[in-house]
Amino acid sequence: MDAWVSINLNWGMMFLMQTTAGILANSFLFHLYNFPLSTAQVVRPTNLILNQLVISNNLVLFSKGIPQTVATFGLTSFLGETGCKFIIYLHRVARGVSLSTTSLLSGFQAIKLHPDTSAWLSLRITSSKCIGICCFLCWSLQLLLNLHVTMITGSSKNSKNLSAKGIYRYCSSTRLDKLTFLLTGVILSLSDILCLVIMAWASGSMVVVLHKHKHRVQHIHSHSLSPRASHEDRATRTILILVTMFLSFYSLASLLSLWITQTVNPSHWLLNTSVLVTLGFPALSPFVFSFNNIRVPQFFTVFCTKKANRPTMVSEI
């Protein structure tokens, strides 16, 4: 019994540290992307996408990390019927928004990275103007696609079976009939596949452009490169790392979830590992952005001096 309590305590501490670190890092990143609002610096159009990614990642950590941490410490029935429906619905929506926003960010960066030909320049200008609409669609579609969750979710008080609870220890779920389950699965899968295809296209496109750029400048001394080229290369590499991380965590989490759903009584180790992997991207991605962002030192400088000027909006061309 003591060994079982010790194991649960260890898992709980890991969830707590992962969730806390992720929430703090995402909160810092949110302030970093919005501090031009209090300075004379320009506001980049991509900041809207980055803000949405940070918010969705924090919502995943709040709706998945905190309840799972509490449940691992032994309190599994702290959510009622309404609480379970809301928290799982919020998690599914936030996860979907994180996926679609990551694909949107990679696609926008791929368009922005291409040479300034007339066709790509026109597409770049158009895409900059459509960022707000795309972000709105990300939330709207996920809110609609995940409505079914509210009909199959209930309190964990109603179920003592781990297989019925699935990957949620603190809530239970009922099985849909085969037709509804198949239809829902196809719709959600098509949505996810579309986002993954966009990521794959954008990543491949960026790699090709960077490879061509490297060959063009390999005989040119580094100090002759334009600051814009250096900035674009850094931003592109950051997004490529981000997409690689997302695909890795997403693939592993999907495999573990499939394993859990096909197991009558999944082990606690399997359930806990699935949660750890699910929280991996929202917890680690802000550190990738922070380490590769040249504005971090500027943020602390401006934050300490407390400068305040009205921002201006520019097209990122």
Q: How far is CA 193 from the centre of its chain?
A: 16
Q: Do 199 and 106 form a contact (C-beta atoms < 8 A)?
A: yes
Instruction: Report whether 145 contacts 89 (CB < 8 A).
Output: no
The model's pTM is 0.81
In the chain, what are the domain boundaries? Answer: 1-153+176-218+230-305
Instruction: Catalogue the E-assigned strands of 164-271.
Output: 171-173
User: Which CATH code, of 3.40.190.290, 3.30.750.24, 1.50.10.20, 1.20.1070.10, is assigned to 1-153+176-218+230-305?
Assistant: 1.20.1070.10
Q: What is the pLDDT along the chain (317 residues), one digit of tens a residue?
A: 566 667 778 888 999 999 999 999 999 888 877 765 555 455 677 788 889 999 999 999 999 999 888 888 877 666 777 888 888 899 999 999 999 999 999 888 888 877 666 666 777 777 778 888 999 999 999 999 888 877 766 555 554 444 344 456 667 666 666 676 677 778 888 888 999 999 888 888 888 877 776 666 655 544 444 554 456 667 778 888 888 888 899 989 889 888 887 777 778 888 889 889 999 999 998 888 877 665 555 555 555 555 445 444 443 43
Cα–Cα distance for residue pair 36/41, rounded to 1 Å: 5
